[in-house]
Chains A and B, each alone.
Chain A
Amino acid sequence: MKKVMVEHLKYRYPGTEKLALDDVSFEVEEGELIGIVGRNLSGKSTLAQAIVGLVPHFYRGAYGGKVIVDGIEVLHSTVSDISRKAGIVFQNPFTQVTGSKLTVYEEVAFGLENLGVPRSEMMERIDEALTLLGIYDFRHANPFDLSGGQMQRMAIASIIAMRPEVIILDEPTSQLDPQGTEEVFLAVQRLSREGMTVLLIEHKLEKVARYADKVLWLDEGKVMAYDSPSKVFSRDDLEEHGLAAPIYTQICKALKLKSPDGETYPVTLEGAYEVLKRWN
Chain B
Amino acid sequence: MSKQRVIVIGGGLAGLAATMKMAELGMSVLLVSFLPVKRSHSVCAQGGINGAVNIKGEGDSPDIHFYDTVKGGDFLAHQPLCKDMCHHAPYIINLMDRLGVTFNRTPEGNLDFRRFGGTLYHRTAFAGATTGQQLLYALDEQVRHYEVQGLVEKMEWHEYLGAVLNGDGRCVGAVIHNLRSGEISTEKGDAVILATGGPGLVYGRSTNSMVCTGTAVTSAYLQGAKYGNGEFIQIHPSAIPGRDKLRLMSESARGEGGRVWVPRKAGDSRKPKEIPEKERFYFLEERYPLFGNLVPRDVGAREIYDICVNDKLGVHGEMKVYLDLTHLTREFLDHRLGGILEIYEKFTGVDPREEPMEIFPAVHYSMGGIWTDYTRTEEGLIDHQSPQNQMTSITGLYAAGEADYQYHGGNRLGANSLLSCIYTGLMMSPGVLNYVKNVPEAADDVPEKLFTEATKQWQEKYAEIKKMSGNENPYALHREMAEEMISNVLIVRENSKLQATLEKIDEFEERWKNVNCVDTTDWSNPVPSFINQLWNMIQLSKIITKGALLRDEFRGSHYKPEFDLNQPSDFRPESYLEYEKQKAAGKVNEEGFNPEHLTYMKRFAENNVKWLKSTIATYQNGGPDISYEAVDTSLIAPRPRKYD
- Is chain B found bound to chain A in the same assembly? no
Q: Which residues of A contact B (CB under 8 A)?
A: none
Q: Which residues of B contact A (CB under 8 A)?
A: none
